[in-house]
Structure 1
Amino acid sequence: MDDDGIETDALAADQGPGPGAPIPASAAWREGDHPGRRLFLPLGDLPLEADPLGSLPGAVLAYETWGELNAARDNAVYVAHALTGDSHVFGPAEPGHHTGGWWNAMVGPGKPIDPARHFIVSANVIGGCQGSTGPASAHPGDGRPWGSRFPYVTMRDMARAEILLADHLGIDRWRLMTGPSMGGMRALEWIAMVPERVGAIAPVGSTGATTADQIAWSTAQVAAIQADPHFNAGDYYDAPDGLGPHVGMGIARMIAHTTYRSAGELNERFDRSYQGESDPLGRGGLFAVQSYLQHHARKLARRFDANTYIRLAQAIQSHDVGRDRGGVETALARYTGPALVIAIDSDRLYPMANSQRLDAALSGSDGIKVVHSKVGHDGFLVETAQMSAFMEEFERSL
């Protein structure tokens, strides 16, 4: 699995273009495509924190729901997606959804977050490419894709859009907000912005503020996309299939995927083995790990958008829940409710120190829950039994 639980080594069904088809310039969902399970909420002009535009005109948020909101309106759970995820948390690959639910292991009948007991909500973030307004969306001025004109967005902008969604759904307070990686960052923004609207929080493999090391890895990914000659400064949407910036985005994905796994797991899994019988030592072959990374690069290009990758990577770089709030600890002190902080012991992207800081800052945390895994950051997706046990115990305690 990758950071978002979408690409597995044995991916079941994929409704996107077949592996032999040319890679599209952008695999973003566009208006007129099959909506799948998506619902759409017009947001009007969404205020933006940092961009000179000041607001995103005509913003729309794509979201999905499962289960029923009870009469007391106290069973709602928000699940926030990571970098290349979307609103399709649970369910199969089907028309409108290229891949199955990115957290099927955690959400669904009999799972810790169960639609029989919960009203489950997830939205594609602003700036995304799966139904919410993003770079591939039509600009309200001329109907052409936003492309290079799409504004800079932050985690706070995304959280504001999610707050408007909660208002629309009549949810005054989430029973639980959870999400891995970038999803955990947005959950933390919620408890800094509107702590009274979150009953419990469960950030997974996340951080209160991105570090220089994390920004460095992300910067290399953004640079790889921008260096692709087919990126065309972000205005590539009219390019024919096969002539979009998929090479640059693929390199970005290979860099990112390396950080999602651990050195030990890659060494144990692949060692120095060859892919097939071709010798890579000057004879045109590949090491198995090279083939593995190229596979994930191609898969992402068939379901994602390069501009969205850049804008969301930049949003992650901007993440500091303590910015203009007196620091991380002061910002998180506003929230006193229950907290489940989950870390992966072999995570080299968001290492244990990040979760230890959250645990210390959240008064409602009773200690970090550690997922023991050899795979790294992806451990929260691979180690299903451990993750489910932690989440089930916490959710039942609320």
Structure 2
Amino acid sequence: MENTKLPAVNHTAAIGELTLESGKVLNDVHIAYQRIGAEDAPAIFVCHALTGNHYTLDSEIGEGWWTGLLGSGEYIDLDRYQVITTNVLGGCDGSTGALSINPDTGVPYGPDFPVITIRDMVHAQKKLLDVLRIRRLEAVIGGSLGGMQVLEWGLLYPDYMERLIPIAVTPTLSDYAIGFNAAGRSAIISDPLWNNGRYSPDCGPRKGLGIARMIGMLTYRSGRLFDHRFQRKQTGNWETIQEKAVFSVESYLHYQADKLADRFDANCYLTLLKAMDTHDIGRGRGGVAAASQNYNVPMLCVGFSGDLLYPVDSMQEFILLVQSGNKEARFQEVNTMFGHDGFLTEFDKWGNLFANFMRETIKT
């Protein structure tokens, strides 16, 4: 019998209070989510990246960020599964974060929103799934910051899902990546409009946030792609040192900076950067090697050539550690010019990895 399809549901649910890893307690926590697919079908949980949101498929704000990878008859088939995605705790698209009203003060948290970790995000997601009465997941999938959540899901709730698909992620955030996060933070807090994080919504540190985005964009894609795409094309006069953008690549980066500043909050951005810095599956678990032995379900780890932040050799080493515990795990490298951002594009190159893995490990 064919499953009845769910309409795209974009809602926000109350999950009550949440005790953070730090011991601090957030009251009246809300999590925004999208739920779409086949009604009563096995549920796949998708985790988004740093500046992503819960709109994996089409929404009121436009095309979803994984449209083409998931959908009716696509690699993640919404005729066969339902997909649930949340805006992460600390985000700025409806979940409790710096923009939310602090129930204890009656004003937005702003810079007073507490430091959170990837584990805090996952605990909040689990509380949402309890509210939605989802008792088990067919898979947990995500890339980058989303991949960090996938790895923590497998350790915090090891028997809650059938399989794990971490993408473009390593078991810890490297010092190299932390360094780029530090540069982004410095750009934001050096903005004259930063005001110690107590800026007004219509007069925030746009320039600093934009520079942070420019720094990020240079790490998300490979040098080979930048050279291939822009080829030193000029858009301005190089003889004037004050010219904002002489080369096409500069215009592109300024465009990306403005685009993010239009939709993202600086305090939320800092919250999520700091959460990424805490990412270390071995923290409090005896180290990465010991933690790697505690995954209970099959894992497919997907990496992308030229990824500066999460290099494929580190991902391969992690999978070898998981395999050493007689666990079912595999690594697949995708050859691409897109580097880290490969998980957001060229689905025809790697979408079948998902589809095949889901078929291979289905429980009957």
TM-score by length of 1: 0.84
Corresponding position of 1:33: none
Output one character per residue of 1:144-183: Cα deviation in whole Å (capped at 9) or x when no partner. Answer: 2110111000001001001111222222221110001010
What SS class does the counterpart of residue 63 from structure 2 fall into?
coil
Aligned 1:1-398 pairs, distance under 5 A: 37-50=9-22, 54-70=24-40, 75-92=42-59, 94=60, 97=61, 99-237=62-200, 239=201, 241=202, 243-275=203-235, 278-282=236-240, 284=243, 285-363=245-323, 364-398=327-361
For 1:330 and 1:38, the matched residues in 2 are separated by 39
Please state whether the residue corresponding to 2:354 is helix, strand or coil: helix
Aligned-pair CA distance for 1:282:
2.2
> CA shift at 1:69, angstroms?
4.6
Is residue 232–residue 247 contact of structure 2 (8 Å, CA) maintained in 1? Answer: yes
- Contact 2:140-2:164 at 8 Å conserved across structures: yes
Closer, same or farther: CA 105–281 of 1 in aligned 2, 3 Å: farther
Answer yes or no: is the 8 Å Cα contact 2:39–2:82 preserved in 1.
Answer: yes
- Deviation for aligned residue 1:39: 1.6
State the one-letter code of the partner of 1:357.
E
2:5 maps to: none
Task: Tell me the SS of whatever aligns to 1:174.
Answer: coil
- Report the Cα distance in structure 1 between the residues aligned to 2:137 and 2:39, rounded to whole angstroms: 11
Hey, what's the Cα distance between the residues in 2 that align with 1:104 and 1:365?
Answer: 29
Q: Take 2:10 and 2:109, find their aligned partners in 1: how far apart are those partners? A: 21
Does the 8 Å CA contact 1:87/1:123 hold for their aligned counterparts? Answer: yes
Relative distance call for 1:365 and 1:271 in structure 2 (3 A) is farther
Q: Secondary structure at the match of 2:30?
A: strand
- 1:109-135 CA distance string (max 9 Å, x none): 111222211121010111000000010
- Structure 2 spans left out of the alignment, 5+ residues: 1-7
Q: d(CA) in 2 for partners of 1:81 and 1:312?
A: 12
TM-score with structure 2 setting the length: 0.92
1:343 maps to a residue whose letter is G
> 1:196 is aligned with what amino acid?
D
> Secondary structure at 1:60's aligned position in 2?
strand
Distance 1:155 1:166 in 2: 17
Q: Cα offset for 1:365? A: 4.4
CA-atom RMSD, angstroms?
Answer: 1.6
Cα drift, residue 88 of structure 1: 0.7
Question: Do the aligned partners of 2:9 and 2:36 also contact (CA within 8 Å) in 1?
Answer: no
What is the aligned residue count? 349
Cα distance in structure 2, aligned partners of 1:353 and 1:113: 27
The answer as to whether partners of 2:154 and 2:296 remain within 8 angstroms in 1 is no
Structure with the larger RCO, 1 or 2 (CA within 8 Å, 6+ apart): 1
Report the 3-state secondary structure (helix = DSSP H, G, I; strand = E; otherwise coil) of the residue aligned with 1:229.
Answer: coil
Q: How far off is 1:393 after superposition?
A: 1.1
More displaced 10-residue stretch of structure 1: 108-117 or 298-307: 108-117
* Greater fraction of residues in strand: 2
